[in-house]
């Protein structure tokens, strides 16, 4: 029987999706990518394949899962399987530099960023910033390694301390700090390649802003007592351009983070190909990204079962 196959490495994040697919009566199977065996001569099973590989896999002990996933995706794509968020999307998920290049190509403003590899180059890069800057890992999620510095000397002390976590791919990003007038960022969720909703996330308690249930449950905003994650009606520039950028990189499902500075200039700084949803925020707004995702995946599965005739 053809199914929706979900490639992932985190059961906690897979469970809500599996629940939504079950609720929609859609057959699904999780492929946990921490370990695997792939006979290259075999033909993949039928159905739809959805990759939810995460750039933070190594923080759960699954350092090789992204590479193994890339291998499996090459196999699936060679066999022309319908893959959602396939190998080009994985490339974006694994590298913020790749994300920024994609964003810039489509005319989005990205905070000034320098990628550095090696301690000496990192410190030399820090000296080129005249104001506060953030460091972050090129391959990361969940705010991993994100810290704010006022000077190169402060960064040097941090690099020498036990608190410094080196980036898993060796590439550290130094980025101009965007001072928002209020401690919020906005995360734009896209499903089936289309904008679905905007989520406001409160940044007053730090840079770890994963909206997944379990990461932020029950937390309140320090400023107005609202929940840490709230779905908002927010105008933002470039909706069609974001959709075009995602399409160009074969990304159907993503969460894109933007921040406004004190002048109202919008910067885009993170594309999450593997995105999670906050159920409390969604319940409050009466919207469900997982339901939208189930409709999308169900439709894609149906297409693989009833392919259009070639001459249509
Ligand atoms: N240039 C920046 N200026 C101000 N805040 C930032 C900047 N970059 C990141 N942040 C803050 O840090 C958080 C995590 O950074 P992000 O780039 O999204 O990394 P991750 O992929 O780990 O989520 C953001 O959601 C935002 O709150
Ligand atoms: Mg982020």
Structure confidence by residue, pLDDT tens digits, 54-93 = 999 999 999 999 999 999 999 999 999 999 999 999 999 9
Residues, beta carbon < 5 Å, ion ligand 2: 257, 270
Q: What is the per-residue pLDDT for 214?
A: 62
d(CA 149, CA 267): 19
Strand 47-51 and strand 82-84: pairing?
parallel
- Please list the pLDDT of the chain residue by residue as tens digits (312 residues): 799 999 999 999 999 999 999 999 999 999 999 999 999 999 999 999 999 999 999 999 999 999 999 999 999 999 999 999 999 999 999 999 999 999 999 999 999 999 999 999 999 999 999 999 999 999 988 888 899 999 999 999 999 999 999 999 999 999 999 999 999 999 999 999 999 999 999 988 777 666 777 665 445 544 455 678 999 998 888 999 999 999 999 999 999 999 999 999 999 999 999 999 999 999 999 999 999 999 999 999 999 987 666 554
What number does the ligand 1 atom closest to the CA of 177 have?
A: 3
- Tell me if 140 CB under 6 Å of ligand 1: yes
Which residues, in sequence order, are CB contacts of 290 under 8 Å at separation 6+? 16, 17, 19, 20, 277
Structural domains in the chain, CATH included, are 3-93+296-305 (3.40.50.20), 96-108+180-286 (3.30.470.20), 113-176 (3.30.1490)
- Nearest-CA neighbor of 203 among 190, 191, 187, 192? 187
Indicate which ligand has the atom closest to the C-alpha of 255: 2
Q: State if residue 111 touches ligand 1 by the CB under 6 angstroms criterion.
A: yes
* Ligand 1 contact via 8 beta carbon (within 6 Å): no
What is the value of pTM for the model shown? 0.94
Q: Which ligand is nearest to the CA of 184?
A: 1
Please classify residue 210 by burial: count the beta carbons closer than 10 Å to its beta carbon, then call 0-12 exposed, 13-18 middle and 19+ buried: buried
Q: Would you say the CB of residue 276 lies under 6 angstroms from ligand 1?
A: no
Shortest-distance atom of ligand 1 to CA 203: 27
- Cβ 145 under 6 angstroms from ligand 1: no
């Amino acid at each position: 029987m053809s199914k929706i196959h979900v490639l992932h490495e985190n059961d906690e994040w897979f469970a809500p999706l599996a629940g939504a697919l079950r609720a929609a009566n859609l057959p699904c199977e999780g492929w946990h990518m921490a370990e695997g065996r792939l006979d290259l001569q075999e033909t993949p099973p039928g159905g739809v394949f959805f990759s939810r590989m995460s750039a933070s896999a190594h923080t759960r002990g699954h350092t090789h899962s992204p590479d193994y996933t890339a291998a499996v995706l090459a196999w699936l794509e060679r066999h022309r399987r319908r893959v959602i968020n396939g190998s080009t999307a994985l490339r974006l998920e694994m590298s913020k530099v790749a994300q920024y290049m994609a964003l810039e190509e489509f005319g989005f403003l990205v905070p000034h960023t320098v990628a550095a590899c090696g301690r000496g180059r990192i410190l030399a890069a820090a000296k080129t910033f005249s104001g506060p800057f953030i460091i972050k890992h090129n391959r990361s999620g969940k705010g991993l390694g994100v810290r704010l510095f006022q000077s190169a000397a402060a960064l040097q002390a941090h690099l020498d301390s036990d608190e410094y976590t080196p980036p898993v791919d060796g590439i550290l990003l130094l980025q101009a700090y965007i001072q928002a007038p209020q401690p919020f960022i906005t995360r734009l969720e896209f499903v089936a390649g289309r904008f679905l909703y905007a989520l406001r996330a409160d940044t007053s308690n730090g840079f770890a802003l994963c909206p997944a249930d379990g990461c932020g449950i029950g937390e309140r905003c320090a400023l107005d007592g609202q929940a840490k994650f709230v779905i908002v009606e927010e105008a933002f520039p470039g909706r069609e351009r974001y959709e075009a950028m995602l399409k160009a990189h074969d990304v159907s499902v993503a969460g894109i983070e933007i921040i406004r500075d004190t002048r109202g200039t919008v910067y885009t700084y993170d594309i999450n190909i593997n995105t999670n949803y906050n159920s409390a925020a969604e319940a409050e707004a009466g919207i469900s990204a997982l339901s939208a995702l189930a409709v999308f995946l169900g439709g894609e599965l149906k297409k693989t079962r009833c392919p259009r005739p070639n001459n249509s």
